[in-house]
Every structure is written in C-alpha cells, then in structure tokens.
Amino acid sequence: MTASGPNLTGEVPTILVKDNEGRVLHCCLEQLIPLDENEYALLTPVDTPVCLVRFNKDSDPEPIDTVANSEPILSVADVVLQEHDLTLVRSAVTLTVTGELDDPDPEDLEELEELEDEESEDLEDYVELINFLVDDQQYGLYIPCEPFLFLGRIDDGQATLVEGEEFERIQPRIEAELEERELTD
C-alpha cells in the first residue's frame, strides 16, 4: 500500500483497524505515511463517529470516554437509535452509528447556535444526535463537527491502532510530515 486518497474510480480505499482489545473499526484510508521502515495510515471511520455525554445538574456536560459494551446506557441508546432506523456500533477507537442520518434542519442549526451561546462551550464542536434518560440521568450521543482522524500502523495489509507510547513517540514526526505535504501541494 503506497497510494493515498481516492483511487481512479473516485472511491476511497477502506481497511479494518484493530485495537489492543481485538475490537475492529471499518475505516477510510486518508493518507499513508512511511516512517522508520513502518507504514502509518491516517484514518477516518466509515460510519458516523459519536461521543457519549452525561449531563450533570451542577456541572458541565461530561464526555464518557470508556464504557463497557454491556453497559445499560448503551442498551438504552440502541433502543432510541432504532426508532430512527440507526444502529449503535461498539467498535475500536470510538462508538459509531450506522444508517441514514437526516441532514440537519436549518432551524435546528439556528437553535443549536443559540443554545451554544447560553450553554457550556464543551459541546460547541458537536451536533446532538439523540438524548435519553437512564435511571433519571440524562445522556446524549453527539456527532463531532470536525473530521474524526486517528492513526493506524499497516502490517501485511492489516491495520493496528497506534496508541500509548508508540503514539506519543511518533505523533510529532507524523504531524511534521503532514505539514510538509501541505506545503508542497
């Protein structure tokens, strides 16, 4: 794999990425970056990534970074999403949603902008997909407005999520390579 971006048919290549717990995520291959005799890939999920948020009465909304697949919160989110013909996928890296998402209503976007002015800035880079209650606690699934990018290492046509010490070690070099590519494009 040495190409990046769309192929001649305009399709973006995809690859399955595995994390250290064996979970997988189907991703679009955005760019390949050779570094230290390894090939790294900048990836985005094929499905829509979502962030799970808990709303607290006395503090700002709290993103929930880790949640067990058997967590009751996710079961309730599944049911609410099914009402909209959507499915929650518990995958590597992030939760994702599959199905046809409706385009946002312009009036909803105006209301969202007004709410952002009034509420915490913590959710200003996200659009609400759904909200729901579990045991009198309010939760929501939010879609990031910016592309959700992460790094994988390609070995024999398979991708592994780059995390921890390896990520910290190579992140500055990957960023420098991407900046250099932007300058030469």
Can you give the pLDDT at residue 66?
A: 80
Question: Does 30 map to a domain?
Answer: yes
Please indicate whether residue 67 or residue 122 has the higher confidence score (pLDDT). 67
Whether residue 155 sits in one domain with residue 107: no
- Residue 154 confidence (pLDDT) above 80: yes
Whether residue 99 sits in one domain with residue 68: yes
Question: Does 1 map to a domain?
Answer: no
* Token pair listed for 181: 């590519």
Can you give the pLDDT at residue 9?
A: 56
Supply the range of the domain harboring residue 34: 14-45+149-184
Question: Does 131 map to a domain?
Answer: yes
The residue with tokens 């049911």 is 79
| Reported pTM | 0.77
**Biggest CA pair distance of the chain:** 54
Whether residue 153 sits in one domain with residue 136: no
* Structural domains of the chain, count: 2
Whether residue 61 sits in one domain with residue 140: yes
Q: What is the overall mean pLDDT for the chain?
A: 83
Whether residue 114 sits in one domain with residue 34: no
Q: Which residues contact 21 (CB under 8 A, 6 or more apart)?
A: 92
- Residue 4 confidence (pLDDT) above 80: no
Whether residue 86 sits in one domain with residue 24: no
Whether residue 159 sits in one domain with residue 131: no
- Residue 36 confidence (pLDDT) above 70: yes
- Residue 98 confidence (pLDDT) above 90: yes
Can you give the pLDDT at residue 103?
A: 62
Question: Does 55 map to a domain?
Answer: yes
Q: Classify burial at 42, counting beta carbons within 10 Å of its beta carbon; exposed 0-12, middle 13-18, buried 19 or more.
A: buried
Question: Does 4 map to a domain?
Answer: no
* Token pair listed for 180: 């250099």
Cβ–Cβ under 8 Å, residues 13 and 28: yes
pLDDT in tens, 113-131: 554 444 444 567 889 999 9
Question: Does 2 map to a domain?
Answer: no
CA separation for the pair 43, 149 (Å, rounded) = 6
Whether residue 163 sits in one domain with residue 135: no
Whether residue 131 sits in one domain with residue 55: yes
- Residue 1 confidence (pLDDT) above 50: no
Scanning the chain, the segments in alpha helix (DSSP H) are 72-82, 106-118, 164-184
Question: Does 70 map to a domain?
Answer: yes
pLDDT in tens, 48-59: 999 999 998 877
What percentage of the chain has pLDDT greater than the value 70?
Answer: 81
Whether residue 104 sits in one domain with residue 171: no
Question: Does 165 map to a domain?
Answer: yes
CA distance readout (Å), 130 to 1, 33, 69: 38, 36, 19
